[in-house]
């Protein structure tokens, strides 16, 4: 314990922070030890897109997760907490088209700046592990993994109508189309377009993706994913169309309400259904074709109008409901989607609101088959969709519809009229992008051999550097003959290369595994190391990725497991979603002019203050509002911590020692350590900091008394610094050294506490009369209840409220409170 008068100087974060950052880097303080015998902890933050700037939102995502990772390290885990860049994607290419800057150099200079900014945060990243998704070393494995999926039948090509963003000039996956059919990137309204597309068969995993039992994720995300996958169980029921002499004798519908099958009065097919033409009678052809034309030409805006009328056209044909023997008219209508279920629905107007509206418009029969409790045979004014009793349903009459549901389904199966079935809303993941700045899909199209995978030895298929970027939005790869023209690896004849590139979400579906062996050149990851580190123990990031990145990464993990290249089921065991940082009650945006630039504040107050302020604003999960005034409070506290640590501790020697005060400080230190430990573990940074602030306030008061042992004081101060070190790594490193300890504080253990030293010998007993606080009293925990009763009833403050009243009962909660009920 050295004398500290020598560092009684001002806190200058600028010097301190750059000094320690250099030292940490030089001494490899954050180098991950792969041979440690400590338990592993892989904590990952969603890596940033190379937009060019680390803004306050990035800080808000990364500073707290770094603090948590550091904390896990301090409590004994061997921590992997890497960082890299999501470096492919459209903005770089758009910059190329606009400004003539190549996407590669654009991205590289952005990364250069972002790396500098990230380093200024002082995070525990091991930069030797950095991964950059646009580097050939990375995307080679994207291509390799694509080929594995292709071989396993999980990647396929299809010609189908897809979401097309006219502004981005590319197709999009369903997940990437937002509310009101807007593009996830640019919010332009997407169109439908028929294109040849590559897809990943995520639907094969629909059922398994609904199983969240191995995950500790926020319920909200699980619900969002469940909704997106959209499982519904029901029956595929066949209507007889044998009278039309077509190759198939039945028309299959999907319904979740087989209990209403006796109420079918019409059938509606999607306009795109392949049987529409053959089922349309001569006289109706013109009208039907006009309708098909109309619905395909409808603008997206029209289709979106909320109260859109249900429309359709009669095909002139009928089918037979084999359960009733009835002939039922077949319509086409655009409220039926070709892509869901069988593309055909049975119309039950009495029990489905859409069918009801359709029936009213086209004057179709409404037959009640589920009766409401008080129903007396009157007509419905809207569909009745609740539960009731079966009527007009043959031998099922009188049953509760929920019971009849199962029985009719069984009956249908027994009679060979259909089968129970499960449908999912989720579609296969469309990964083709008609753009340059992404991973080339490693496929060659040969006129003779067809679709030929690029042989593994030829990977990576490199993006040509000298592509031409035209403002027309055409893919530069299409125009690049030296890229397109290639010999077929199979027959050697001239063939053409696939020019689509992959969705950048492919890159981020497995990057978490690449971090485990970022420079491994034999495979996407070193399996031995993956066995040690995988999967990610704690993932943190925004909830906006619920049905995109997070779902894709789960799919990838399961697919790679089945292919046999990894052996667990989920990529991210625990997930924490941080909230958003806002400014002036609004989301930050350049157009609003309310963007907070972290660099500015780092320069003014230092990274430690910015980190801690962000963590102090409120619960991390809820986000919070940035305040230029608020951060001043954190700056003041940081200085108070500096000052209290910088004092000359020898002033505590040879003075009037009070054992009681000393014991109080011991207790306070122990209590503080326990509380901070528990809060940090749970990401409750705001309350951790509040407790530490309270601790420094108390320490300041204690210092004034100077009646404690020097060693007790030093223990308290060192505990303070250690507890603060994951949150504010620089100032605490400086303090640690100034206190005479060895480099580095970031190799130290989190201070421990002794349960026996937590207990207060006196507690404040709250005294209530009729549930209202009237007095308090310092008592020993050992005082027995009858004695307390005496004390309480003798209190003058209490007497005021009990005199002349009858005491009905007293409730005593040990060590806390006593409540006297009077009347």
Partner RNA sequence: GCCCGGGUGGCGGAACGGUAGACGCGCUGGACUUAAAAUCCUGUGCCCAAUAGGGCGUGUGGGUUCGAUUCCCACCCCGGGCACCA
Site residues for RNA, window 546-565 (CB under 7 A)? Answer: 547
Sheet with 485-487, strands from edge to edge, namely 450-453, 443-446, 494-497, 485-487
The reply on whether position 343 binds RNA by CB under 7 A is yes
The reply on whether position 191 binds RNA by CB under 7 A is no
Question: 29 or 767: whose CB is closer to RNA?
Answer: 767
Residues belonging to the chain: 823
The reply on whether position 203 binds RNA by CB under 7 A is no
The reply on whether position 597 binds RNA by CB under 7 A is no
Site mask for RNA (CB under 7 A), range 226-255, x = bound: -xx-x-x-x-------------------xx
Distance, CA of 368 to CA of 349 (rounded, Å): 8
Cβ–Cβ under 8 Å, residues 234 and 424: no
Question: Helices 659-681 and 710-724: crossing angle, nearest 10°?
Answer: 10
The reply on whether position 690 binds RNA by CB under 7 A is yes
Q: Which of 270, 350, 506, 610 binds RNA (CB under 7 A)?
A: 270
Cβ–Cβ under 8 Å, residues 185 and 93: no
Q: Which of 9, 213, 219, 591 binds RNA (CB under 7 A)?
A: 219
Question: 181 or 737: whose CB is closer to RNA?
Answer: 181
Q: Residues 704, 707, 708, 714: what is their CA dihedral angle, to the nearest 10 degrees?
A: 40
Stretch that binds RNA, among 40-48, 281-289, 342-350, 604-612 (CB under 7 A): 342-350
What minimum distance in Å lies between the beta carbon of 577 and RNA? Answer: 10
The reply on whether position 310 binds RNA by CB under 7 A is yes
- What part of residues 633-652 is at the interface with RNA (CB under 7 A)? 633-637, 639-640
What minimum distance in Å lies between the beta carbon of 706 and RNA? Answer: 15
Q: Which of 493, 586, 805, 816 binds RNA (CB under 7 A)?
A: 816
* Cβ within 8 Å of residue 262, ≥6 positions away: 323, 324, 367, 369, 390, 392, 393, 394, 396
Indicate the SS3 state at residue 461: coil
Question: Helices 729-738 and 13-26: crossing angle, nearest 10°?
Answer: 90
The reply on whether position 485 binds RNA by CB under 7 A is no
The reply on whether position 346 binds RNA by CB under 7 A is yes
Distance, CA of 501 to CA of 656 (rounded, Å): 77
Kindly determine how many residues on this chain lie close enough to bind RNA according to the rule CB under 7 A.
84
The reply on whether position 430 binds RNA by CB under 7 A is no
The reply on whether position 586 binds RNA by CB under 7 A is no
* Cβ within 8 Å of residue 603, ≥6 positions away: 14
Stretch that binds RNA, among 15-23, 137-145, 559-567, 631-639 (CB under 7 A): 631-639
Q: How many CA atoms are closer than 13 Å to the CA of 417, on its beta-carbon side? A: 18
Residue 82 token pair:
């890497």
Cβ–Cβ under 8 Å, residues 815 and 777: no
- What part of residues 455-474 is at the interface with RNA (CB under 7 A)? none
Question: Helices 685-705 and 630-646: crossing angle, nearest 10°?
Answer: 40
Question: 113 or 226: whose CB is closer to RNA?
Answer: 226
The reply on whether position 795 binds RNA by CB under 7 A is no
Q: Which of 196, 423, 594, 661 binds RNA (CB under 7 A)?
A: 423
What minimum distance in Å lies between the beta carbon of 244 and RNA? Answer: 21
The reply on whether position 10 binds RNA by CB under 7 A is no
The reply on whether position 340 binds RNA by CB under 7 A is yes
The reply on whether position 313 binds RNA by CB under 7 A is no
The reply on whether position 630 binds RNA by CB under 7 A is yes
Write the DSSP string, 229-289: H--EEEEEEEEE-GGG--S-SEEEEEES-GGGGGG--EEEE-TT-TTHHHHS-GGGHHHHH
Site mask for RNA (CB under 7 A), range 730-769, x = bound: ----------------------------------x-x-x-
């Amino acid at each position: 314990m050295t004398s500290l008068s020598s560092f009684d100087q001002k806190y200058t974060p600028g010097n301190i922070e750059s000094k320690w950052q250099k030292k940490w880097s030089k001494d490899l303080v954050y180098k991950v030890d792969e041979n440690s015998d400590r338990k592993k902890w892989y904590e990952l933050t969603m890596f940033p897109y190379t937009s060019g700037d680390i803004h306050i939102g990035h800080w808000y995502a990364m500073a707290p997760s770094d603090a948590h990772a550091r904390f896990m390290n301090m409590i004994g885990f061997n921590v992997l907490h890497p960082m890299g860049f999501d470096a492919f994607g459209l903005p770089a290419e758009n910059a190329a088209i606009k400004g003539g800057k190549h996407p590669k150099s654009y991205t590289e200079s952005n990364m250069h700046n972002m790396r500098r900014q990230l380093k200024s945060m002082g995070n525990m990243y091991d930069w030797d592990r950095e991964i950059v998704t646009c580097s050939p070393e990375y995307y080679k494995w994207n291509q390799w993994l694509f080929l594995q999926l292709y071989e396993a039948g999980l990647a396929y090509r299809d010609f189908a109508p897809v979401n097309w963003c006219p502004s981005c000039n590319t197709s999009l996956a369903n997940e990437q189309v937002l509310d009101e059919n807007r593009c996830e990137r640019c919010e332009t309204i997407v169109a439908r377009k028929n294109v040849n597309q590559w897809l990943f068969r995520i639907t094969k995993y629909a059922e398994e993706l609904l199983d969240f039992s191995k995950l500790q994720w926020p319920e909200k995300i699980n619900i969002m994913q469940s909704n997106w996958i959209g499982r519904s169980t029901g029956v595929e029921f066949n209507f007889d169309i044998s009278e039309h002499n077509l190759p198939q004798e039945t028309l299959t519908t999907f319904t979740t309400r087989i209990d209403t099958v006796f109420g079918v009065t019409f059938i509606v097919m999607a306009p795109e259904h392949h049987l529409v033409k053959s089922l349309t009678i001569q006289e109706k052809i013109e009208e039907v074709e006009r309708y098909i034309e109309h619905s395909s030409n409808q603008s997206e805006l029209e289709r979106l109008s909320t109260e859109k009328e249900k429309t359709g056209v009669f095909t002139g044909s009928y089918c037979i409901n084999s359960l009733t023997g009835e002939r039922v008219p077949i319509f086409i209508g655009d409220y039926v989607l070709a892509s869901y279920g069988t593309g055909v629905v049975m119309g039950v107007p009495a029990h489905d609101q859409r069918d009801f509206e359709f029936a009213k418009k086209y004057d179709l029969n409404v037959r009640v088959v589920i009766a409401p409790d008080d129903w007396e045979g009157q007509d419905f004014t809207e569909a009745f969709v609740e539960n009731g009793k079966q009527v007009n349903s043959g031998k099922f009459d009188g049953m509760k519809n929920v019971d009849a549901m199962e029985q009719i389904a069984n009956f249908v199966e027994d009679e060979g009229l259909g089968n129970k079935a499960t449908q999912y809303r989720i579609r296969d993941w469309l990964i083709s992008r008609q753009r340059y700045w992404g991973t080339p899909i490693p496929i060659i199209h040969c006129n003779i051999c067809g679709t030929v995978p690029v042989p593994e030895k030829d990977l990576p298929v490199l993006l040509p550097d000298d592509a031409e970027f035209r403002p027309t939005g055409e893919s530069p790869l299409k125009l690049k003959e030296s890229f397109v023209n290639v010999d077929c690896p199979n027959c050697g004849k001239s063939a053409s290369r696939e020019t689509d590139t992959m969705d950048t979400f492919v890159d981020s579906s497995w990057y978490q595994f690449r971090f485990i062996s970022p420079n491994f050149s034999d495979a996407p990851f070193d399996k031995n190391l993956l066995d040690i580190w995988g999967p990610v123990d704690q993932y943190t990031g925004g909830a906006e990725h619920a049905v995109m990145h997070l779902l894709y990464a789960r799919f990838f993990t399961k697919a790679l497991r089945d292919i046999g290249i990894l052996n667990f089921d989920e990529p991210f065991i625990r997930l924490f979603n941080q909230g958003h940082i806002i400014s002036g009650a609004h989301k930050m945006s350049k157009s609003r002019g309310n963007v907070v630039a972290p660099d500015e504040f780092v320069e003014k107050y230092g990274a430690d203050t910015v980190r801690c302020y962000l963590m102090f604003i409120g619960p991390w999960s809820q986000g919070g509002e940035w305040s230029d005034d608020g951060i001043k409070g954190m700056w003041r506290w940081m200085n108070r911590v500096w000052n209290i640590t910088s004092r000359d501790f020898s002033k505590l020697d040879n003075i009037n020692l009070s054992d009681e005060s000393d014991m109080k400080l011991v207790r306070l230190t122990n209590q503080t350590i326990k509380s901070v430990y528990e809060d940090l573990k749970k990401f409750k940074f705001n309350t951790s900091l509040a407790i530490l602030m309270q601790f420094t306030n108390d320490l300041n008061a204690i210092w004034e008394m100077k009646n404690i042992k020097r060693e007790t004081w030093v223990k308290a101060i060192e505990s303070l610094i250690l507890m603060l070190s994951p949150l504010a790594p620089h100032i605490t490193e400086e303090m640690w050294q100034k206190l005479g300890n060895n480099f580095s504080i970031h190799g130290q253990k989190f201070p421990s506490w002794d349960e026996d030293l937590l207990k207060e010998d006196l507690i404040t007993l709250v005294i209530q009369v009729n549930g209202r606080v009237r007095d308090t009293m310092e008592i020993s925990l050992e005082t027995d209840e009858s004695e307390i009763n005496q004390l309480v009833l003798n209190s003058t403050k209490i007497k005021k409220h009990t005199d002349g009243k009858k005491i009905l009962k007293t409730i005593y909660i040990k060590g806390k409170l006593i409540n006297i009920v009077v009347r």
